[in-house]
Amino acid sequence: MNVLVINTGSSSLKYQLFDMNSQAVLAGGVMERIGETKGILTHKEFSTGREVKTKKTPVIQNHQEAMHLMAKLITQKIDAIGHRVVQGGENFKTATPINGDVKNAIQANNPLAPLHNPPNLIGIQLAEDLFPGKPQVAVFDTNFHQTIPEKAYLYALPYEYYTDYKIRKYGFHGTSHKYVANKTAALMGKKPDQVNLITLHLGNGCSISAIKKGECQDTSMGMTPLAGVMMGTRTGNLDPAIFGYLMDNTGMTQAQIDDVLNKKSGLKGICGLNDLRDIHERAAQGDKLAKLAVEMFAYQIKKYIGAYAAVLGHVDGLVFTAGVGENDEIVRAKALADMSVFGIEIDLAKNDIRSSEPHTIHKEGSRLQVWVVPTNEELQIATETCQVLTK
């Protein structure tokens, strides 16, 4: 079965076509700046090596044009389509074949993900028009976190805010956490339900999850992807009173403060840069704030590892993934320093090795295994699409 995975953003479209017999990527592409004056399009056909790359195409007017372009560029057959959908609320616990009710439920969850769910739904509708009769499946970022117990997902607000406004922790990056957890269990020679893992998805957005026997028990992001550890430009956890204090004392509007918390904070807020490659370069030149940003980031990651070790009771392994998790040995070494009390001992020489293959970075004799495992959310979506359709 060939499964096309579609991820529609507000001004972007990413897609990959998988042959699920071999799990090989047949074709894939990215379109960015949809609706802007100069679009960017990259498409690659992996079987032939044919690459279409235009840095500045004439305008890609809208998602409809982008999807038509994609359909024209893909020459292989498509049997089914898997959509990444960010927010499924409490309605969806697993990958779900799309019908009218599912689309209505996605729309009903728009207020919880106003930047993501509407374009996701546009992608679904366009794909239905473009590929009539082909089965379509929604895989929600929130699915994997639906096993989190009530005591962990509720905020200590008046209870009716949960029932009336759906205010609770939903978590994000669920597809990535699930992929690396299953992959790591297999690499350890175990089934997912035989291990307890702490998975660390550290990229521009960061989330950390506590996974017991394959089921998520807690995750660091919250009702929105602003919570948890500090990120490239996002604050992570804050004292909630800071919001009102800023409103009262700076004259900023709610929208302006939202913008600061999401786009001007985190690593960037502390040192002016959000890409850790640049931050390390600055730190090496002696920049105090660049050094501080790295120290804060590693400290916050360390605290979550400690907290989630307590949540799980027994931990078999840690798994680092995404841009920072896979590539940044400095952050990993700092976050894992002096954690022998938790049974974590890393081998600094192994930690320095760069590889695109999954590998371990713990010392022989470390009670916990520490893995670096490249994530593959698209393959996970394709796999779940295939599973739900062949069930």
Choice from 89, 214, 225, 323 touching ligand AMP (CB under 6 A): 323
326 and 203 in contact (C-beta within 8 Å)?
A: no
Is 338 an active-site residue? no
- Residue 328, interface with ligand AMP (CB under 6 A)? yes
| DSSP conformation letters of 46-65 | TTT--EEEEEEESP--SHHH
Binding of ligand AMP by 327 (CB under 6 A): yes
C-alpha–C-alpha distance, residues 315 and 333, integer Å: 19
For residue 206, give the 3-state DSSP assignment.
Answer: strand
Catalytic hit among 79, 101, 141, 328: 141
Q: Which of 232, 266, 269, 374 binds ligand AMP (CB under 6 A)?
A: 232
Alpha-carbon Rg for the chain, nearest whole angstrom, is 21
Tokens of 324: 């920072």
Residues 137-196 that bind ligand AMP (CB under 6 A): none
Reported as half-sphere exposure (CB side, CA atoms, 13 A), residue 148 has a value of 27
Sole binder of ligand AMP in the list 27, 73, 106, 276 (CB under 6 A):
276
DSSP for 62-83? Answer: SHHHHHHHHHHH--S---EEEE
DSSP class of residue 291?
Answer: H
Give the nearest distance from C-beta 307 to ligand AMP in angstroms.
23
CB of residue 105 to ligand AMP, shortest distance in Å: 28
Say how many residues touch ligand AMP, by CB under 6 A.
11
Task: Output the DSSP codes for 349-380.
Answer: HHHT---SS-EE-BPTT-SSEEEE----HHHH
Which listed range, 81-89, 108-116, 272-280, 294-302, lies at the site for ligand AMP (CB under 6 A)?
272-280
The stretch among 85-93, 216-224, 241-249, 324-332 that binds ligand AMP (CB under 6 A) is 324-332
Burial bucket for residue 331 (CB in 10 Å: 0-12, 13-18, 19+): buried
Q: How far is the CB of 342 from ligand AMP (least distance, A)?
A: 25
Site for ligand AMP in 192-221 (CB under 6 A): 203-204
- Window contacting ligand AMP (CB under 6 A); options: 31-39, 95-103, 305-313, 320-328: 320-328
- The CB-of-96 to ligand AMP minimum distance in angstroms stands at 26
Distances (CA, A) of 113 to 117, 118, 290: 6, 8, 32
When the beta carbons of 147 and 262 are compared against ligand AMP, the nearer one is: 262
The C-alpha atoms of residue 176 and residue 33 are separated, in whole angstroms, by 25
Binder among 65, 275, 345, 347 for ligand AMP (CB under 6 A): 275
Indicate which single residue of 31, 60, 273, 324 sits in contact with ligand AMP (rule: CB under 6 A). 324
Contact region with ligand AMP (CB under 6 A), list: 48-56, 233-241, 317-325, 355-363: 317-325
Catalytic residue annotation = 141
Q: Give residues in contact with ligand AMP (CB under 6 A).
A: 203-204, 232, 275-277, 322-324, 327-328
